Chain A
Amino acid sequence: MTTMTLEPPRLVRTKPLLEIRDVSRSYGEVRALHKVSATAYPGEVLGIVGESGSGKSTLLRMMNLEELPDSGSYHLDLPDTPGDLFELDRFARRMLCATRIGIVYQNPHLGLLMKHSSSGNVAERLLIAGERRFGVLREKAREALSASEFPLERLDAPPIELSGGMQQRVQLAKAIALEPALLLLDEPTTGLDVSVQALLLDTLKRLQQERKITMVIVSHDLGVIRTLADRVMVMRRGEVVEVGLADQVFQDPQHPYTQQLVHAKL
């Protein structure tokens, strides 16, 4: 196989919003990530595919600063966050996470207070950022839920009473409430009915286009990645085996593993 190496970007002059370099992480004998690098440009959707245990979710947790690597660096091109984010102290990481990064987990229990109201779940983000006006909290929670196409008549219903698809919409509203620079999606539609899944993907696509949010979406479902991602990164056993434009990776996969994945799933 003779793949030509690509040049660095020439037309796109903006710096990547997200830049992860040579991140490695081991749990004892298990190598979860090995020298993984990733970039995402402003407004771009980066898809990460790979089977369970490929390290894709670990990588996403690191992007959300929930976990730190053994080595490697992480930069976000944001005002007042210079330097390697992995070097920040716990408090600075937490504040950055709460204000600039949104995340939607596969399991809504990880992202939501199931017995609080849905609007309260969204309001919590704003409270962390220091908003202390009840009226504003209420209005902004309503706005974010509406943007996530959540039925507003259920504004104050606790997530535990909602369907899986609606719970994901509450997570999404919470994630976008503060207009984050980066939105992370960890298998956001896995486990939902196909029709519900399609509607949620559509909402994500619309939000992405309207707000130009940079997104990183992790999924083992190639259909989800194909619908949303501009570029795709294929991971296997903690390493990146292939990166490319989404249509190229799906139509002309280079790596044997990617070919196998594409053939098996389509």
Chain B
Amino acid sequence: MTRVLDIQALSKGFSLHHLGQDIAAFDAISFSLDAGEFVLIKGINGAGKSTLLRTIYRSYLPRGGAVVFHSAHGPIDLARAADVDIAHLRRTEIGFVTQFLNARPRVSAEALVAEPLRLAGESADAALHTARGWLSTFGVKEELWQAYPSTFSGGEQQKVNLARALILPRKLILLDEPTASLDAGARAALVARLAELKENGAAMLGVFHHPGDVADLIDRVIDLTPDAAPEEDREDVAV
């Protein structure tokens, strides 16, 4: 198997200066991930599941350790890579799927979904065509394609979000509870798309409220529940 990610002794914590507090999230986590592998991260509330995903994605700055990503250009430590390199990898190789859509005013659903393709260099027409295909797969009604998602319900927004996040194949996909608030049809479409991406060699690392949704995809489970780790309340930390 081809190695995609090597996580070595990764630590994260948050200093809240105004409170004079220091909150540890997780400490010295090590594991690895291969191409085509689907790894579920589980753990009690506050074990730092989402924090781990965001630290790998570098939305959070790690405190120590290494996140070696085997990119198309060779291995690179995401914990120390320059910001522009991270931005480049996010555009090309690493995807992050959340349950929230970053809707922008006056940008239609189909344009929003097509955007990653256009940024990757596809022609506007081809990108739009593919985007419509995915909107349809995830069950977004056709009359909504040209509407502005900022006006959509949570469930519809989430479908647009998934179509956008999963439209481009990535080497590494981080999934932060993408099934929350999805109806059965959309959930099935999501699982099918994840299976397809996995089949094509994407490595996936996910946090799921109901792991049953993706049970057939899971290859391994990593339990973050620490023996006696300090508690972390994610809502407080995610400043």
Hey, which bits of chain A sit against chain B, CB under 8 A? 1-12, 41, 44, 198-199, 201-202, 205, 209, 227, 230-231, 243-245, 247-248, 251-254, 256, 259-260, 262-263
Contact = CB atoms under 8 A, between A and B. Distances in A.
A227 B106 CA distance: 14
Interface string B19-37: 0000000000000000000
A4 B84 contact: no
Interface residues of B, number: 37
Given A4-B62, A259-B17, A9 B119 contact: no
Interface string B115-150: 100110000000000000000000000000000000
A248 B61 contact: yes
Nearest to A253: B239
B15 A12 contact: no
Contact of A248 (B14, B58, B63, B64): B58
A251 B85 contact: no
Nearest to A209: B119
A10 B76 contact: yes
B89 interface: yes
Contacts of B106: 198-199, 202
B239 A259 contact: yes
Contact of B88 (A11, A251, A262): A11
Contacts of B86: 245
Among B18, B64, B87, B118: residue with most chain A CB under 10 A? B87
A199 B81 contact: no
Which of A1, A8, A231, A245 is the most central at the interface, judged by chain B CB atoms within 10 Å of its CB? A245
Nearest to B15: A1
B84 A259 contact: no
Interface in B81-96: 81-89
B175 interface: no
B85 A248 contact: no
B59 interface: yes
